[in-house]
Amino acid sequence: MNPNYKPLFDTVKLKSGHELKNRIVLAPMTNFSSHPDGTVSDEEINYYIRRTKGVGLAITACTYVTKNGKGFHGEFGGDTDEMIPSLRRLASALREQGATAVLQIFHGGRECPPELVPNGETVSASAVGKEGSDITPRALEESEVDEIVKAFGETTRRAIEAGFDGVEIHGANGYLIQQFFSPQTNRREDKWGGSLEKRMSFPLAIVKEVKRVVAEHAKEPFIVGYRFSPEEEHTPGITMVETLALVDALADQELDYLHVSLQDFWSKPRRGADETKTRMEHLLEKIGNRVPLIGVGSIHTADEALKAIRTGVPLLALGRELIMEPDWVEKVEKGRESEIATTLSKKDQERLVIPDPLWGAIIHTPGWFPVVE
């Protein structure tokens, strides 16, 4: 290995007691490839096996915690005990590659396609539809909110029983947890909405419930992480200042890590914070040394990864790059970083072990991946 890259391979000790073998994380990415009944498919297992070897931490695509939380076609489920054998297959596949395996848990809220949820009824914090959509979700009753909080705990119990090393609470990318945090989608006047503090109640209640379940059921150290998006484009919407308040509260929850969702690691705030600093700088300053932060966003080469790590971020997630280059970690370890692929061609599906639904999305979504002839 080129000694310059040794910092990428430092071990990282988490609060739970887990020690990650390096600082590289497989980012959670939807692959649309599970069976219609919510069980994990062989194609999905093989996809994960191909790109998990070498990383310190592997985070799965999201799994829904209730029937009305299914957000994607081809998403795997964690909403009933019948799903535990399916989850166990996935956990075993990840751990057999030497990675620490984390299950991402979520509810899609108003983002769920109506055809995937019971009676075609989508739900959210409030009855606020997406711009350009003629679908208006139903506002959850208070009792239903409590049930969803408990469902995050129950799916955590299933993750423990399935052999995962941890869970990541998915509070990012416009899904239900973010819908409760955002003033755009949360117009409630009860304990779950209104002020910034009340809009933080739902994510913090889920964190508390997940941690309670871990304390009760986990016999070995078990990771709890939380993913968040820093800002929303629209007004009203989540601002960087509001996110820093949420991150401040989350950093005091004794979590194992926080995980920002970004397209570009070096991006700067839209509004509401010093725009001369990057979002990552703001986050690292607010968090201090209370909890490790996972950075992410268009990191491809070893030099780009090293530059990102030098900002002080403890962990770095690779998403699209590990789809294009499953051997990224191995190539850096063996001094072959010049061979790292940062594009893919239309002939690469079989070599890269990418399931048909994900491959179709890659090829037919212009600008998502750098596809060359």
**Chain-centre distance for alpha carbon 129:** 24
> In angstroms, what CA-CA distances link 217 with 79, 155, 354?
17, 12, 35
Q: Is the pTM of this model over 0.75?
A: yes
Average pLDDT for 274-291: 97
Tell me if residue 257 is catalytic: no
Domains recognised in the chain with CATH numbers:
3-372 (3.20.20.70)
CA pair distance 178, 246, nearest whole angstrom: 11
What percentage of the chain exceeds 70 in pLDDT?
100
What was the pLDDT predicted at 272?
81
Among 98, 27, 97, 53, residue whose Cα is nearest residue 334: 53
From the list 246, 361, 260, 263, the residue with the least C-alpha distance to 321 is 263
Which listed residue (47, 48, 64, 175) is catalytic? 175
CA-nearest of 226, 187, 233, 232 to 206 is: 226
Is 281's pLDDT higher than 90? yes
Q: What is the pLDDT of residues 243-259, one digit of tens each?
A: 999 999 999 999 999 99
Can you tell me the distance from the alpha carbon of 192 to that of 186, in angstroms, rounded to the nearest whole number? 8
Specify the residue for token string 């959210």: 124
pLDDT mean over 298-321? 98
Does residue 302 carry a pLDDT above 90?
A: yes
Q: Indicate whether 373 pLDDT > 90.
A: no
- Percent of the chain past pLDDT 90, that is, above it, reads 98
Mean pLDDT in residue range 321-335: 98
Q: Give dist(CA 182, CA 39) in Å, integer.
A: 32
The answer to whether the Cα torsion of 338, 299, 317, 353 is positive or negative is: negative
pLDDT digits (tens, 9 = 90+) for 51-105: 999 999 999 999 999 999 999 999 999 999 999 999 999 999 999 999 999 999 9
CB 242 within 8 A of CB 196: yes
Q: What is the mean predicted confidence (pLDDT) over 285-304?
A: 97
**What pLDDT is recorded for position 270?**
92
> Band of the pLDDT at 240, cuts 50, 70, 90?
very high
134's torsion region: left (phi>0), alpha (psi -120 to 50) or beta?
Answer: alpha
pLDDT band at 129 (very low <50, low <70, confident <90, very high): very high
- 83 in Cβ contact with 38 (< 8 Å): yes
- When the pLDDT of each residue in the chain is averaged and rounded to a whole number, the result is 97
> What average pLDDT does this structure show over 102-118?
98
Q: How far apart are CA 107 and CA 117, in angstroms?
A: 11
